Amino acid sequence: MTNKFVGKRIDRVDARDKVTGKALYSADFYQEDMLYLKVLRAPHPHARINSVDVTNARKIPGVVMAITAKDIAWVKNFGMIFKDQEVLVREKTRYMGDALAIVAAETPAIARQALDYIEVDYEPLQVLSDPLQAMDKKAPYIHEPREENCEPGYNPGNLLCSHRLERGDVEKGFAEADKIIENEIRTPHVEHVALQPEAGVAKYDKDTGVCTMWVATQWLHDIQADVAQALNLKAEQVQIIQPAIGGAFGKREDVSVHIIIGLMSILTGRLVKMEMTREELMITQNKRHPIIFRYKTGVKKDGTITAWEAEVIGDTGAYASTGSAVVHQALYMCTGPYNVPHLKGVSYTVYTNNTYAGAMRGFGATQAAFAYETQMDCIAAELGIDPLEFRRKNAYELGSITPNGQILTTSVGIKETLDKAAEIFGYEPGRLSKEVNGKIRGVGVSSSMFGCGYGEGFPDHSIVDLEVTREGKILVRSAAADVGQGILTVVCQIVAEVLDIPMDLVEMAPGDTHATRNAGSTSATRQTIFSGNAAKLAAEELLGKIYHRASLELSKHHPQFLVRDGEVVLQGTETRISLAQLARISREKGDPLQAEGCYFPRTDVPDEATGQGRLVYVAYTFNTHITEVEIDKYTGETKVLRVVAVPDVGRVINRVGVEGQSEGGTVMGLGMALMEKQVIEEGITKNADLSTYLIPTSLDMPEIITDIVESGDAAGPYGAKGVGEPALLPAAPAIINAIYNATGIRFYHTPVTPDEILQALQARASKNF
Amino acid sequence: MLIDLGYRAPDSLEEALEILGEDSSFLILAGGTDLLVKYFDAREKMGNVLDISRLEELKKIVIEGEKIFLGALTTHEEIYRNPDLQKKVPFLCRAAKSVGAPQIRNQGTLGGNMANASPAADLAPPLIAVGARILLAGPDGERSFNLDEFFTGPGKTRKNPNEIITGVEFNVPVGDFRNTFLKVGQRRALAIAVASLAIALSCRQGKVEEVRLSAGSVAPIPLRARETEKILQGQKLDNLPLEKAADQLEKEASPIDDIRGTRVYRARVLGNLLRKGLQEVLSQEGVSENG
Ligand SMILES: Cc1cc2nc3c(=O)[nH]c(=O)nc-3n(C[C@H](O)[C@H](O)[C@H](O)COP(=O)(O)OP(=O)(O)OC[C@H]3O[C@@H](n4cnc5c(N)ncnc54)[C@H](O)[C@@H]3O)c2cc1C
């Protein structure tokens, strides 16, 4: 049977509202009598706070409240994995984003100006901006030492955690190798630059004891839990309603304004609103982790990899956020989609006084992809093997074993992605750069893998509720956050497919902790798999209930009728019952047409000492890029000309959705390769605005051709896997590898600037002279 | 604590000058693309504002033969789209087109670009290279300066606070006039120059008759590279001392390190822009001397 909706090019269900301006973002909420909040941030990245005096700020007309940590002794710390972050800091600041005081005022301008009247007395402490320095036993502690988690020899106040990976015997593997290649590869702090700055509105109802907030988040129920525990409330006393979300990319996995607006709505008894400025959120909110990879790889002359050793050091900044998970994911993905018989690795997650790092598209796997694809390219060059051929030779196939020891039994399309990309690109093996009008062209290859879902035994599920409404529409209740990637459309497509009804008869209820059930986070490239499966299960159950009710009403068995276009049709007759009618009858009979679907797959917790497990992630998505760049010899500028992107997504649900993710991921990778770095020196950000922190514009866009491999049979609905994060992974390394192909100059970090390229070109020219 | 802010938007230059004569603390507002960014989130610190955007006298573009006047309120978009300017001074149009993005080009003005006096102001190098004079009007009368003597430091000019820039004027060289503008930014749109270079070359009988070079973002002010000009002056077009000139230009620059680029890169790339730019102008079709 061919699908009507699944696999097709489907317009996004939220597109019309967003394009016409009807969609409401949290910053759009306005009410005449609301209060505006502003937060005083740290005066120094690492300082002992002697006092914070708000006396003068309180005197300003229009200021309704100004509080410090002293006023809220009852409020608890927050944090996603470790509760290590204070709502208002008590004794010391650990980075520039730490909050010292909150002002509530009648206008935003008054609140902003009141901050100037707050006096802070502090003593600066030594700032630790380099994770290698912070790990050292002699470094001062940023947090209270936690001996139980710490490696001997490392700093117990600054080393958050470590993880290990081991399979086979690397010494044996290195002994078998003809060549051993060692490199250190680094990535910097990167900002998500979601379109919408963090903002939220909250209101506390004294009578019900419920604090209701309109604020974007990638996971309603987890943020609800963290807000509630911080404010000493029960979870049901915190209601979060999801407005339209102006992008996320992992940024909105963390608490931002949530606890502050909840707290101030309770303290003032009024509707409060807080909006961060771009500068404030760049300094305050999570970053992509800078990670150092130290790789040692053994290979035979014929290009067979024999052993791989990795040391991974991630700078999680002042607070843990999801840092421990991000950095160990970088370790768990450290060899990419390539067969490695002997493997050993360790990762360290380290506190510094930099802006804290957390989730960002790829969650450690992006940094890892840059590292292993750089390493793979170096090895290919060293062996004189074509880079695409070298990847192909070592790429996973059915039966391959991931770094975590998972044997891949299904949906391994990596080789097909390499072949298809080569074909579409017109890839010439052994290709050397060519010069056209003072511009040098080169081609780069990169592949990647990504484990979908939280995996690793972490509770990971989604529940979707369906109901046939009085109008005969299907109402979908899901807390899955659509951060722009299109999960709402995917869910509607699947429901429409199963029930064989037009998509406009499927309606999504807004995400709301009190009306929709947990869907987990929109992260880990999991929503299509998790909420997609839950939607499919729910729709199938609902279809069963429709059959059941219809067979009672029609006194026929279901092979004799079919459900189509919102009606039950008795085949070969004029008899039909609309779903609206059927819903009414069902309700009257006390058995309403409702159904739920819950997808809760099991994964294994990897062994602590070796990182090995049987089923660590529910699916793996692969993606290959072949990219052509052009470098201006005079200026060192790199222009990305053309990208062929071929992801293996198992099965396509929404074709334009996959293409959109692929194009967006490519541009984000272009930024990462050539422009993006939040410069943090001694804990202080030097480019906290969009005129100095640059991301690509439409004029920087290359031609992007996305073709899709459907290896099928993956864990998601219809055999799908996710694509959101994998879309980004190969983009940056393909560009850096293309720069190598063009110039013969290897860069081991991102971003690569014109300055560095020009310097390297001239250094080489003078050497050859 | 919120101050009442003065805002005036006169209809004539005369009236504007009267206001400035009475109170020189008024901040002049044209397109606002520099000013409103500077006072973003701090409108209360702005004080009195004199909005000159209604002054029709300042919106004119007058082209009489080779003599050109551009009013201070001319926008980047108007410069870049003007067919006469495209013919006579293509490098000025190229510079205008390189500014920001469409919104900025439609809003930002020539006068604002000059008064703001950023070393990166994109219109400055081609205007200096074409020998423009900048015209000022104040309560005490009119003054004018050669543009290359107008800037005194980052954000500083010889203009008094109570003077309004009315426009710039220049004569397009007659005969075989070749020019180009090259800019290195960190991306292809919305990029402040890391370094830029305007080259204006008047040629006669296969020789450089007159040359003016002006560079952006490589000195505290838009740079007029007189020493490098001397090296090229009078030289044969088919045998220009390219390397010597590029080396001299690197020496003449005094760039700084900032978030957009390093000192070393700026100097190095400037030399390369001269190499690249001179090759480009040499390949341009020379206008025949009689024609
Ligand atoms: C996103 C963005 C991108 C940009 N990109 C570029 C770029 O690529 N290249 C570039 O050169 N610039 C760029 N700019 C800067 C700016 O747009 C230009 O300098 C523009 O020409 C300023 O003109 P304006 O009319 O907007 O000036 P305003 O902001 O109105 O004024 C700027 C200054 O000039 C004074 N002033 C204005 N007009 C007069 C006058 N007639 N007489 C006396 N004083 C006056 C004002 O008092 C103020 O001090 C960018 C700005 C932004 C926001």
Residue A12 burial by Cβ neighbours in a 10 Å radius (0-12, 13-18, 19+): buried
For residues A384 and A484, membership in a common domain is answered with no
The predicted model gives A109-126 an average pLDDT of: 97
pLDDT-wise least confident of A147-151, A573-577, A628-632, B102-106: A147-151
Angle made by CA atoms B154, B158, B160, in degrees to the nearest 5: 110
For residues B260 and B211, membership in a common domain is answered with yes
Q: Is residue B228 part of a domain?
A: yes
For residues A642 and A721, membership in a common domain is answered with yes
For residues B183 and B265, membership in a common domain is answered with yes
User: Which pLDDT tens digit goes with each residue over A701-753?
Assistant: 999 999 999 999 999 999 999 999 999 999 999 999 999 999 999 999 999 99
Interface contact A691-B192, CB threshold 8 A = yes
Predicted confidence at residue A667, as pLDDT, reads 98
- Say which CATH number the domain at A54 has: 3.90.1170.50
Q: Which of B138, B171, B204 is the last residue of a domain?
A: B171
Cα A349 from Cα B125, distance rounded (Å) = 50
- Say which CATH number the domain at A382 has: 3.30.365.10
Q: Per-residue b/e over A473-505, b at no fewer than 16 CB within 10 Å?
A: bbbbbbbbbbbbbbbbbbbbbbbbbbbebebeb
Tell whether A763 lies on the interface with B, counting CB pairs under 8 A.
no
For residues A385 and A292, membership in a common domain is answered with yes
Cα A662 from Cα A565, distance rounded (Å) = 33
For residues B35 and B73, membership in a common domain is answered with no
SS (H, E, C) A551-583: HHHHCCCHHHEEEECCEEEECCCCCEEEHHHHH
Which residue in A410, A431, A427 sits closest to A418, CA to CA?
A427
Local structure of residue A512 (DSSP, 8 states): B
Q: Is residue B144 part of a domain?
A: yes
For residues B144 and B231, membership in a common domain is answered with no
Interface contact B272-A698, CB threshold 8 A = no
Q: Is residue B287 part of a domain?
A: no
Q: Is A442 helix (H, G, I), strand (E, B) or coil?
A: strand
On whether the CB atoms of residues A700 and B187 are closer than 8 A, the answer is yes
User: Which pLDDT tens digit goes with each residue over A293-333?
Assistant: 999 999 999 999 999 999 999 999 999 999 999 999 999 99
Predicted confidence at residue A769, as pLDDT, reads 55
Q: Which two tokens stand for residue A232?
A: 């000493």
Q: How far is the CA of A46 from the centre of ligand 1 (A)?
A: 38
Q: Which of B137, B171, B205 is the last residue of a domain?
A: B171
Predicted confidence at residue A150, as pLDDT, reads 67
User: Which pLDDT tens digit goes with each residue over A347-372?
Assistant: 999 999 999 999 999 999 999 999 99
For residues A451 and A461, membership in a common domain is answered with no
User: Which pLDDT tens digit goes with each residue over A153-165?
Assistant: 899 999 999 999 9
For residues B201 and B250, membership in a common domain is answered with yes
For residues B13 and B74, membership in a common domain is answered with no
Q: Is residue B289 part of a domain?
A: no
User: Which pLDDT tens digit goes with each residue over B143-178?
Assistant: 999 999 999 999 999 999 999 999 999 999 999 999
The predicted model gives A458-473 an average pLDDT of: 97
Q: Is residue B1 part of a domain?
A: no
Q: Which of A115, A635, A695 best probes binding to B when mutated, by most B CB atoms within 10 angstroms?
A: A635
For residues A445 and A501, membership in a common domain is answered with no
Torsion of CA A604, A606, A612, A618, to 10 degrees: 40
Domain that residue A326 falls in: 287-455+607-768
Q: Which of B38, B104, B145 to mutate to test the pocket of ligand 1 (most atoms within 8 A of CB)?
A: B104
Cα A617 from Cα A457, distance rounded (Å) = 9
Q: Which two tokens stand for residue B274?
A: 């001269």
User: Which pLDDT tens digit goes with each residue over A619-678?
Assistant: 999 999 999 999 999 999 999 999 999 999 999 999 999 999 999 999 999 999 999 999
Q: Which of A568, A599, A630 is the last residue of a domain?
A: A599
Q: Which two tokens stand for residue B229?
A: 């000009």
Number of structural domains chain B divides into:
3
Q: What's CA A486's distance to the chain center, in Å?
A: 14
Q: What stretches of chain B show up as alpha helix (H) in DSSP?
A: 13-22, 35-38, 76-81, 83-88, 90-97, 102-107, 110-116, 124-129, 226-232, 242-252, 263-283
Q: Where does the pLDDT of residue A768 fall: very low under 50, low under 70, confident under 90, or very high at 90 and above?
A: low
Query: HSE (CB half, 13 Å, CA atoms) of B116?
Result: 24
Which residue in A736, A91, A763 sits closest to A387, CA to CA?
A736
> Is it the case that residue B3 has pLDDT exceeding 80?
no
Torsion of CA B266, B272, B274, B276, to 10 degrees: -140
B229 lines ligand 1 (CB under 6 A): no
> Is it the case that residue A583 has pLDDT exceeding 90?
yes
What is the maximum alpha-carbon separation in chain A? 93
Cα A400 from Cα A403, distance rounded (Å) = 10
Q: So what's the ipTM on this one?
A: 0.94
Cα A5 from Cα A708, distance rounded (Å) = 17
> Is it the case that residue A51 has pLDDT exceeding 90?
yes
Cα A221 from Cα A212, distance rounded (Å) = 13
- Say which CATH number the domain at B145 has: 3.30.465.10
Torsion of CA A726, A729, A731, A737, to 10 degrees: -140
For residues A429 and A463, membership in a common domain is answered with no
What single-letter amino acid sits at B27?
Answer: L
On whether the CB atoms of residues A310 and A368 are closer than 8 A, the answer is no
Cα B136 from Cα B157, distance rounded (Å) = 12
> Is it the case that residue B289 has pLDDT exceeding 70?
no
Predicted confidence at residue B109, as pLDDT, reads 98
What single-letter amino acid sits at A5?
Answer: F
Cα A609 from Cα A404, distance rounded (Å) = 11
Considering chain A, what is the average pLDDT of its residues? 96
Predicted confidence at residue A608, as pLDDT, reads 95
Local structure of residue B47 (DSSP, 8 states): -
Q: Is residue A525 part of a domain?
A: yes
Contacts A759 to B, Cβ<8 Å: 264-265, 268
> Is it the case that residue A225 has pLDDT exceeding 70?
yes
For residues B88 and B148, membership in a common domain is answered with yes
Q: Is residue B187 part of a domain?
A: yes
Domain that residue B274 falls in: 176-282
Q: Is residue B2 part of a domain?
A: no
Interface contact B44-A61, CB threshold 8 A = no
Predicted confidence at residue B290, as pLDDT, reads 39
Q: Which of A578, A599, A620 is the last residue of a domain?
A: A599
Cα A335 from Cα A356, distance rounded (Å) = 26
Q: Where does the pLDDT of residue B4 fall: very low under 50, low under 70, confident under 90, or very high at 90 and above?
A: low
Contacts A61 to B, Cβ<8 Å: 1
- Say which CATH number the domain at B260 has: 3.30.390.50
Q: Is residue B291 part of a domain?
A: no
Tell whether A641 lies on the interface with B, counting CB pairs under 8 A.
no
For residues B13 and B73, membership in a common domain is answered with no
Q: Which of B110, B138, B171 is the last residue of a domain?
A: B171
Q: Is A738 helix (H, G, I), strand (E, B) or coil?
A: helix
Please report the sign of the dihedral spanned by the C-alpha atoms of residue A545, residue A547, residue A550, residue A554: negative
Q: How far is the CA of A190 from the centre of ligand 1 (A)?
A: 30
Share of chain A above pLDDT 90, in %: 96
For residues A624 and A728, membership in a common domain is answered with yes
Q: Which of A125, A158, A181 is the last residue of a domain?
A: A125
Tell whether A61 lies on the interface with B, counting CB pairs under 8 A.
yes
For residues B150 and B69, membership in a common domain is answered with yes
Q: Is residue A259 part of a domain?
A: no
For residues A738 and A711, membership in a common domain is answered with yes
Cα B142 from Cα A216, distance rounded (Å) = 57
Q: What stretches of A426-526 show up as alpha helix (H) in DSSP?
A: 487-499
What single-letter amino acid sits at A605?
Answer: V
For residues A329 and A339, membership in a common domain is answered with yes
Other Cβ atoms less than 10 A from the Cβ of B171: the count is 13
Q: What is the CA radius of gyration of chain B?
A: 19
Residue among B44, B184, B186 minimizing CB distance to A694: B186
> Is it the case that residue B2 has pLDDT exceeding 50?
no
In whole angstroms, how far apart are CA A108 and each of A280, A371, B216?
Answer: 15, 45, 39
Q: Is residue A706 part of a domain?
A: yes
- What is the reported pTM? 0.97
Share of chain A above pLDDT 70, in %: 99
Contacts B247 to A, Cβ<8 Å: none
B164 lines ligand 1 (CB under 6 A): yes
Contacts A637 to B, Cβ<8 Å: 184
Number of structural domains chain A divides into:
3
For residues A466 and A394, membership in a common domain is answered with no
For residues A635 and A749, membership in a common domain is answered with yes
Kind and range of the H or E run holding A200: strand A199-205
Tell whether A679 lies on the interface with B, counting CB pairs under 8 A.
yes
For residues B244 and B274, membership in a common domain is answered with yes
Give residues with Cβ within 8 angstroms of A450, minimum separation 6: A333, A362, A365, A525, A620, A621, A622, A623, A722, A725, A726, A729
For residues A551 and A620, membership in a common domain is answered with no
For residues B192 and B255, membership in a common domain is answered with yes
Q: In the β-sheet with A119-124, what is the strand arrangement from edge to edge? A: A92-93, A47-53, A119-124
Predicted confidence at residue A433, as pLDDT, reads 85
Phi, psi (deg, nearest 5) at residue B27: -90, 130
Residue A132 to chain B, least CA–CA distance (Å): 24
Cα A580 from Cα A582, distance rounded (Å) = 5
